[in-house]
Each structure stands twice: as structure tokens, then as C-alpha cells.
Amino acid sequence: MNAYEKLLAARADGRPTAKNYIERLFQNFIELHGDRRYGDDSAVITGIGTLGRIPVTVIGIEKGHGTKEKVARNFGSAHPEGYRKALRQMKLAEKFRRPVICLVDTSGAYCGIGAEERGQGQAIAENLMELMGLRVPVVSILIGEGGSGGALALAVADEVWMLENAVYSVISPEGCASILWKNPKRVGDAAEYLKITAQDLLSMNVIDRIIPEGIGFTKTCAFLKIQLIRTLKRSRALTEEELVSQRYEKFRRIGSDFQ
């Protein structure tokens, strides 16, 4: 598949969403709602569960299936309260020393009046800063669309993984094409030039692993579960300081190739 085909695959109706992964990957999942500041954003699912025998915090951006649920989930575009809901769970994870697993699937943080009034930029910025210092392991998996800052706010992690056909981009290829060439029809060119595929991002060391999808959803989840357990077990060997410092260095290196 070329970049544009992957973009379509990542957005395709019927593609498994965060909820589907949560059901497969975790046992004893207990959903926990609300940001304790403004409300409960249904575009973001947060809770606790066990991965094998490891207690973890789970955060997922949920697009929903079917028109009714998609509308209720705001098509997976979170408001500031969604990012603050995620942050509240990250802080609880830190308190109880459990790892955080993020499942990212969003076309982007919501652009609207309420989102701006309640500080969309500030909410994302705060998550970036908090994740940079969070003293528990964080693994983020891009399962579908990784839309700009709205995705990054849940993807500052020790390990960032992508599903084989997921995409991750600074701007939507449509947006890029209409700004650069005033021609949204050149979306295919933009998708290619922006380098949004898992394969591109792995080669640039922006992500750490590609999760195969061709084997079917059940097998993908089984594979993912084994990899997650292995990764979390490995991270036990690190002190909190080492963990945070390695996370900093991982992002510090990106685009730092200057004299």
C-alpha cells in the first residue's frame, strides 16, 4: 500500500477502535470517568485493568462504531477535558506505580469554540510536560490515525508503536494540500511527502516498533499482548530516574542533527 492507501485504511469504517483493543488486551477492566474539572469527554476512555498479571492504567481515544456512537464519541476528537481526564489517570498511575498504556486513534484534537475556551493548547501542552516526567513506564500504540498534537498528547512514551496500517502526521494530508497547493485533491502527494506511514516513521526512529495487522485482529492482539508484557517486564530493571531520563533522551534526539 502507498501512503494514501494507508491513510484510507487507517480511517476505514469497521477498523477496530480503542474499545476493541481494550476488550482483547486487558482483563478486569474498570472504566473511570471524568477530569474532575469540567466534565467527562466520551472521546477518551480511561480506566484500570490487568495485562496478564500486571495492573495497568489504560487510556484510549475512541472513535466509535456506527453513526450514533461516532457522534457520541465526537468522532474521536477530544476536547481539553479529554486530555485532562487522561492526565488525571496518568497521575493516579504514578501514585500507585502502575504502567500506562495509551491507544491512540484520532484525526486530531477538536477545533471548536468550547475547546478553545477551555484551553485546548494548554491541555495538550500540560500532558506533554507531565508525560516527559511521569515516573512510571508509558507505552503508546497508534492503532489508526495519529492526528497531530491531539495524538502526541498521549504519545510521549518510553515506546511508541504503530499498527502496520496506522498513520501519524503533523497535519492532515488534506490540510497540507489545501494550504500548500490550494488543492485538496493533491492529498495523495501530501500523504507521500509528509511521510506518515509506520514504515517511514520507523526508519526515522520516531516510532520503535511496527505491529503486524495482516494476521487478523485476534492474532494482532495476542502478539501485542506478548510484546507489551515483555516490554513492561524489561522496564522493571530501570530506576524511575533512568526511565524518565531515557524517555527524555529518546525525544531529545529527534531532529537534533545540527552542529
Smallest separation (angstroms) from another protein to the CB of 75: 4
In Å, how far are 144, 172, 238 from 108, measured between CA atoms?
12, 9, 33
Of 79 and 98, which CB lies nearer to another protein in the complex structure? 79
Of 204 and 215, which CB lies nearer to another protein in the complex structure? 204
Kindly give, in sequence order, each residue whose CB lies less than 8 Å from that of residue 47, ignoring residues fewer than 6 positions away. Answer: 22, 29, 30, 31, 32, 57, 58, 89
The Cα–Cα gap between 165 and 4 comes to 11
Q: What is the binding site for another protein (CB under 8 A)?
A: 11, 63, 67, 70-71, 75-77, 106-113, 115-122, 124-126, 128-129, 132-133, 145, 147-149, 152-153, 156, 168-172, 174-176, 178-180, 184, 193-196, 201, 204, 206, 247-248, 251-252, 254-259
DSSP type of residue 118: T
Of 51 and 194, which CB lies nearer to another protein in the complex structure? 194
Smallest separation (angstroms) from another protein to the CB of 82: 13
Smallest separation (angstroms) from another protein to the CB of 53: 31
The Cα–Cα gap between 228 and 234 comes to 10
Of 193 and 223, which CB lies nearer to another protein in the complex structure? 193
Smallest separation (angstroms) from another protein to the CB of 124: 4
Q: What backbone torsions phi and psi does residue 191 show, to the nearest 5 degrees? A: -60, -40
Confirm if 235 and 101 have CB atoms less than 8 A apart: no
Q: Quick one: cell of 54?
A: 500486571
Q: At what angle do helices 173-180 and 3-11 cross, to 10 degrees?
A: 130
Of 33 and 65, which CB lies nearer to another protein in the complex structure? 65
The Cα–Cα gap between 69 and 173 comes to 26
Smallest separation (angstroms) from another protein to the CB of 226: 27
Smallest separation (angstroms) from another protein to the CB of 52: 29
Smallest separation (angstroms) from another protein to the CB of 116: 5
Q: Quick one: cell of 62?
A: 475512541
Of 10 and 56, which CB lies nearer to another protein in the complex structure? 10
Of 120 and 231, which CB lies nearer to another protein in the complex structure? 120
Q: 184 burial class (0-12, 13-18, 19+ CB within 10 angstroms)?
A: middle
